[in-house]
Amino acid sequence: MTQLMRQSNHSTNILWGILLFLVVSGLLNIYLLTNHVYNLANEVKAHREDYMSPTLPDPNRTAAVNNNEKGVKVLAGIYLDRVEELDIKQSKWTYEFYLWFKWKPSEIDLLGEKHEKFQNELPFNIVNGEIVNADLIEKHIDQAKNSGYIQYQVKAKTTQFFDVRLFPIDEHYLIVPIEHKWLDRGDVIFVPDTVESKLSSRVMIPGYKIAKSIKLIEKAHAYQSARGNPKFSSTDMENFSQFRALYCCNCNLHCSIFT
């Protein structure tokens, strides 16, 4: 009888030991996983915030040099009207927006009207993207008042890396990067229109919530090569003024601790 009790106590101790090991191991794994996710979230957030900085270079991109160009200030504004498709897997998104510029014609030939080769060209492009369609909506050039205004309705596709390491609690910035097509930062510097730039209430993305506030910045964008232009040396780097709009979207399961 005593021997049976000893065996029973020994078995009970073994079971309690196994249970204690499982509890401690489980808690340790939960701690390590939580700590890993938290650190990863901070890393992803810091990576995204570099894109939002007007002065810091984009992650793994060429830093701008000679960042003190005195180009003519041109007001640039955007109204995001529709997100047609967001394909995280294929790293691309398709969208429609209104884009406008305001400037003083006496200071700059923004539209290239004085240059024959630019007269039929759009004066802007989408970096890492494709302009599917661009319609001229309004154009007012008043020489007497020295004021210029032009507005386009644009449909574009942008190729953009989306960091999905935090899926399904991922958060992304949808970036619209706009540059002048032929005038560099020594000629023109875009000034974001923070008053009139808006996000349409109709913008919806299945599976994601998009923040109603937008962030607008101007950022110097450097090209590593002069692209064979005889006006520059082979070591010169051209800087362009990039007007950038950022829209934040969260997965519906996004946890507020990471925002």
CATH of the domain at 109: 2.70.170.10
Residue 257's pLDDT is 32
The pLDDT value recorded for residue 14 is 75
Domain identity same for 187 and 85 = yes
Per-residue pLDDT of the chain (259 residues; tens, 9 = 90+): 555 555 556 667 777 777 777 777 777 666 666 665 555 555 556 566 666 777 777 766 666 665 667 899 999 999 999 999 888 777 788 999 999 999 999 999 999 988 878 878 899 999 989 999 999 999 999 999 999 999 999 999 998 776 655 555 566 778 899 999 999 999 999 999 999 999 998 888 877 778 778 899 999 888 877 667 676 665 667 789 999 998 877 755 443 333 3
For residue 25 the two structure tokens come to 């191991």
Percent of residues in the chain assigned helix, strand, coil, to nearest 5: 20, 40, 35
Torsion angles phi and psi, residue 50, rounded to 5: -65, -35
Residues 28 and 133 in one domain: no
CA atoms within 13 A on the CB side of 81: 10
Same domain? For 101 and 124 the reply is yes
**In terms of domains, do 24 and 115 share one?**
no
Provide the pLDDT for residue 160: 78
User: Same domain, yes or no, for 74 and 44?
Assistant: no
Position of tokens 């499982």?
22
CA distance linking residue 94 with residue 129, whole number of Å: 10
| pLDDT value of residue 35 | 60
**Number of compact structural domains in the chain:** 2
Task: State the pLDDT at residue 180.
Answer: 97
Distance CA 68, CA 186 (A): 8
Query: Who's near 202: CB < 8 A, 6+ residues apart?
Result: 81, 82
Q: Are residues 47 and 105 in the same domain?
A: no
203 touches 81 (CB < 8 A): yes
Q: Answer yes or no: do 21 and 64 share one domain.
A: no
- Co-location of 45 and 94 in the same domain: no
Give the pLDDT confidence score for residue 231 in this predicted structure.
Answer: 67
**Cβ atoms within 10 Å, residue 132:** 14
Q: What predicted TM-score, i.e. pTM, was given to this entire model?
A: 0.75
214 shares a domain with 98: yes
Q: What pLDDT is recorded for position 169?
A: 55
Instruction: Classify 216 as helix, strand or coil.
Output: strand
Q: Do 205 and 84 lie in a common domain? A: yes
DSSP state of 91: T
Q: Looking at residue 108, what is its pLDDT? A: 95
What range defines the domain where residue 106 resides? Answer: 60-258
SS3 239: strand
29, 75: one domain: no
**Could you give the C-alpha distances from 98 to 68, 94, 128, in angstroms and in order?**
29, 14, 19
Q: Are residues 147 and 94 in the same domain?
A: yes
Q: What is the rounded distance in angstroms from the CA atom of residue 151 to the CA atom of residue 183?
A: 18
